[in-house]
Amino acid sequence: MASARQDQEGQETSDEIDLNSLKQEIFLKLVILGDLGVGKSSLIKRYTQSNESIDYKVSIDTAFQVKRVELDGRVVNIQLWDVPGHERYGGLTRTFYKYAHGALIVFDLSRPETFENALSWLSDVTEKLFDARQKSHTSNGSLDEANRAMPIILLANKSDLPELKVPRQKYSSYVQENGLLTWMETSARDGSNFSLAVRRLVEYILDTDPTVKQAKANEKFWGSQIGTR
């Protein structure tokens, strides 16, 4: 119901809100995975260098930032978790993956061993995310959410370097064999393709993930920090 008030000049004005002008607000959590030194932090920093990003520091050597973007009339708050590279064999990754909607696995084109380790990162996130979802949904007998694969994009970083030691055919085949969404070559130096990769992942999640709904900033988003759950 519209209400009315008077402005400083005594003219009557309306407080009515046009509900059609309000945009949907959605909150997503993405985890950025990869070995130490592959350039995860640099990619995130370049992507979020604007007034629309918020930097959060949490304990145990990790951090996340929030980037606000607008897609098809919807405001999407993207929480980007920079998972420490040394945690691949640690138990803490289970906490980082909690409530995640998607992942980006990064490797260094100049260091072939980081590409080989990408398979370990994929196994880690797939196994631990499935276990978490299964525990959440076993109580009501529904495992649809547990069985739903997390969308993942593989990023071949440092494409600007003169000597690239991982053939494109190798990681292209890797993506197809392991059911990843796609691959992209990126560079933290010039920022190429990381923004496009995030957008592609977010659009896929919005189109396919039944758990994503119009929402306010709830506990599952802002409360997913270490030690809060």
Q: Which one is predicted more confidently, 15 or 198?
A: 198
- Tell whether the model's pLDDT for residue 192 goes beyond 80: yes
Residue 15 lies in a domain: no
Average pLDDT, the chain: 77
pTM for this predicted structure: 0.76
Instruction: Say which amino acid occupies 16.
Output: E
Residue 47 lies in a domain: yes
Q: What is the pLDDT of residue 97?
A: 84
Q: Which one is predicted more confidently, 186 or 145?
A: 186
Cβ 68 vs Cβ 216: under 8 Å: no
Q: What is the pLDDT of residue 69?
A: 92
Q: What is the pLDDT of residue 63?
A: 72
Number of domains in the chain: 1
Q: What is the pLDDT of residues 86-122, one digit of tens each?
A: 766 566 677 788 889 999 999 999 999 999 999 899 9
Q: What is the pLDDT of residues 18-70, one digit of tens each?
A: 444 456 789 999 999 999 999 999 999 889 885 444 444 443 455 788 999 99
Q: What is the pLDDT of residues 62-74, one digit of tens each?
A: 578 899 999 888 8
Cβ 170 vs Cβ 150: under 8 Å: no
What number of helices (H) and strands (E) belong to the chain? 8, 9
The domain that holds 94 is classified in CATH as 3.40.50.300
Alpha helices in 110-218 (DSSP H): 112-116, 118-137, 144-147, 168-178, 194-208
Considering the chain, what percentage of its residues have pLDDT values greater than 90? 43
Cβ 223 vs Cβ 229: under 8 Å: yes
Residue 1 lies in a domain: no
Residue 14 lies in a domain: no
Residue 134 lies in a domain: yes
Task: Identify the CA nearest to 112 among candidates 40, 36, 166.
Answer: 166
**What's the Cα-to-Cα distance from 198 to each of 78, 101, 120, 203, rounded to whole Å?**
9, 12, 22, 9
Q: What is the pLDDT of residues 118-144, one digit of tens each?
A: 989 998 888 887 665 555 554 444 444
Q: What is the pLDDT of residues 164-180, one digit of tens each?
A: 999 999 999 999 999 99
Q: What is the pLDDT of residue 48?
A: 87
Length of the chain: 229
Residue 163 lies in a domain: yes
Task: Identify the CA nearest to 36 among candidates 97, 94, 92, 113.
Answer: 113
Residue 13 lies in a domain: no
Angle (CA) 184-158-39 rounded to 5° is: 95
Beta carbons within 10 angstroms of residue 130's beta carbon: 16
Q: What is the pLDDT of residues 203-220, one digit of tens each?
A: 999 999 887 865 444 545
Q: What is the pLDDT of residue 127?
A: 82
Residue 145 lies in a domain: yes
Task: Identify the CA nearest to 100 among candidates 67, 74, 133, 62.
Answer: 133
Q: What is the pLDDT of residue 1?
A: 45
Q: What is the pLDDT of residue 107?
A: 97
Beta-sheet strands, E only, within 51-101: 53-58, 62-71, 74-82
Range of the domain at 72: 23-216
